[in-house]
Amino acid sequence: MFRASFSVVAALLLVAAAWTAGGCAGTKQRATLLDGGAGATGATGRDAAAGSVGSAGAGGGIGGFATTDGRVIGTDALGETACAVATQTAQTVPLDLYIMLDSSGSMAGTAAGNQTKWDAVRSALTAFVADPKSAGLGVGIQYFPLFHAAVPDTCETDAACVGYGPCDILRTCSGSTSIVRCAGNGDCRGMGMCVRLGGCGVSGGYCAPAGPAYSCSSAAGDGCLPIAGYCTGRDLCDAAAYAAPAVEVATLPGAATALVASLTQHTVDGLTPTAGALSGAIQHAQTLARANPTHKLAVLLATDGLPSECTPLDIAGASGIAAIASAARAATPGVATYVIGVFTPAEQADAQSNLDAIAAAGGTGRAFVINTSQNVSQSFVDALNAVRSSGLACQYMLPPAMQDGGQLDYYSVNVQFTSGAGAAVTVGNVKDRASCSATRGGWYYDVDPTTAGATPQTISICDTSCEQMKADPAGRVDILLGCKTIYVVD
């Protein structure tokens, strides 16, 4: 179903194989989509009629259609559904999610309720896959970062990194009240000396300088313990590693056992190689989409940090991480990217703008950014539910009866949206996703029926039309067969 409370009652109205002399038989010319909103200029009946229908449809997108002979298309009263003599209920295209989950060391940070971010997110995912409303959803998972097997977890020297160094020892300026990374005293510029960064053994938090001579408080064992070094080449950047799932995408509820076991066994460590992780997730989703053309594939990137290693590090720009999501959305088959972030209140604004860029490029609007002062687990479940609802929107299966031995006329298919108030408008057809009109929307087949040997199996609604449909909670989508297809014509 659609996001929030939107309920789609999509009916496929099938027609008899033979066209009669009446009904649609006299209206098989190519039809055109006109602007919604105010009536078009000019004195013809076609212009005035199109304008009136467009106004009812709130302008553009899903409103404002007329044929070349001036006959308006889009309402039962005008005869469009008179062609249909049989009905079959439509089925939304199954949604498969490949989750790329951040398990970097920062996920061990504390969230509300004295719970780590990792435990809160793991709890949310466990609840989501067990939810009866998730039944039928395909879910798989991989984590980032992944590691080179021969590289140790920690280091104190470059040699310990066996060629995957150098060993990064965290240091800070001793005279600063916050962490100021430094490599030597010259980096501190009046803020003391460059010293080893540590963590308080009992009271928690960072401290400096670290070492056995320093304590965070008078509590027993609350020394300033040095933070272990990290081999800078330990984390994998190669997309191919992340394209191999920890748990393959499979249908719920059957897939839940393996997913929960994986989440339970996994631990947090490492940095944040977002570019490689997202690229690999998209590669795997595209592979699955090619193998399952009647499924809708999407990637869910869940993270608590912005990229800290592997190129590109930047989000925006022609070669940034958002561009990776954009290319995936525009590809054939297209893969959408959803984003959920968990950040501290101080990080939230910066995280929102950066993660929004990835989500927008991936065709999913805005990212879901949760701050750690909230109930992270429940907020994460809410975000997952919204992803599930949104992902099931605006794509429909063509019924098997339309795919057996060439009986379907792909040029006599129309999509009609009926608002909650009962006003019906016909959505125009476009060649493919790239041809969607930014103002008039449209719909398209998964493959172009003019291509030799192509057999369309699904219908997708363009983003502009989809958003207008989702905005009407009581609306209904019908797919009408038998009347000449209405096209978007700019």
pLDDT in tens, 379-418: 999 999 999 988 878 888 876 555 445 467 888 888 888 8
The residues, any chain, with a CB within 8 Å of residue 119's CB and separated by 6 or more, are none
Which of 349, 364, 391 delimits the end of a domain?
Answer: 391
159 within domain boundaries:
no
- On average, the pLDDT of the chain sits at 81
Query: Same domain for 270 and 354?
Result: yes
What does pTM read for this prediction?
0.77
Is the pLDDT confidence value at 255 over 90? yes
Structure tokens at 51: 């304008």
162 within domain boundaries:
no
Least confident span in 75-84, 90-99, 119-128, 259-268: 75-84
125 within domain boundaries:
yes
Query: Same domain for 316 and 387?
Result: yes
Query: Same domain for 374 and 429?
Result: no
CATH, residue 249: 3.40.50.410
367 within domain boundaries:
yes
The residues, any chain, with a CB within 8 Å of residue 403's CB and separated by 6 or more, are 455, 457
Give the span between the Cα atoms of 433 and 395, in whole angstroms: 12
Give the span between the Cα atoms of 215 and 222, in whole angstroms: 6
The arithmetic mean of pLDDT across residues 294-312, rounded, is 96
pLDDT in tens, 422-451: 898 889 999 988 899 999 899 999 888 888
409 within domain boundaries:
yes
Q: Which of 107, 90, 100 is nearest to 11 (CA)?
A: 90
129 within domain boundaries:
yes
pLDDT of residue 135: 96
Query: Same domain for 357 and 401?
Result: no
Instruction: Show the DSSP H helices in 208-320 as ranges.
Output: 239-242, 256-265, 274-291
The residues, any chain, with a CB within 8 Å of residue 2's CB and separated by 6 or more, are 8, 389, 390, 392, 393, 394, 469, 470
438 within domain boundaries:
yes
Quick count: other Cβ atoms within 10 Å of Cβ 462? 24
Query: Same domain for 314 and 405?
Result: no
Query: Same domain for 255 and 375?
Result: yes
Please count the structural domains in the chain.
3
The arithmetic mean of pLDDT across residues 204-226, rounded, is 91
Give the span between the Cα atoms of 119 and 125, in whole angstroms: 10
pLDDT of residue 395: 87
pLDDT of residue 290: 94
pLDDT of residue 362: 96
Query: Same domain for 350 and 285?
Result: yes
Query: Same domain for 101 and 84?
Result: no
Q: CA dihedral defined by 308, 311, 312, 313, rounded to 10 degrees?
A: 20
Give the span between the Cα atoms of 193 and 344, in whole angstroms: 29
Domain enclosing residue 126, as ranges: 95-150+237-391
Which of 391, 424, 451 delimits the end of a domain?
Answer: 391
Kindly state the percentage of the chain with pLDDT values over 70.
80
Which of 324, 358, 391 delimits the end of a domain?
Answer: 391
The residues, any chain, with a CB within 8 Å of residue 365's CB and separated by 6 or more, are 359
Quick count: other Cβ atoms within 10 Å of Cβ 335? 25
Residue 229 pLDDT class (50, 70, 90 cuts): very high
Query: Same domain for 119 and 250?
Result: yes
Is the pLDDT confidence value at 188 over 50? yes
Let me know if 386 is exposed, middle or buried by CB neighbors in 10 A (0-12, 13-18, 19+). middle
Give the span between the Cα atoms of 328 and 297, in whole angstroms: 11
5 within domain boundaries:
no
The residues, any chain, with a CB within 8 Å of residue 231's CB and separated by 6 or more, are 151, 152, 155, 160, 161, 164, 165, 166, 167, 168
The arithmetic mean of pLDDT across residues 460-465, rounded, is 90
Query: Same domain for 266 and 365?
Result: yes
Query: Same domain for 386 and 458?
Result: no
Query: Same domain for 195 and 325?
Result: no
Quick count: other Cβ atoms within 10 Å of Cβ 445? 22
First to last CA, the chain: 31
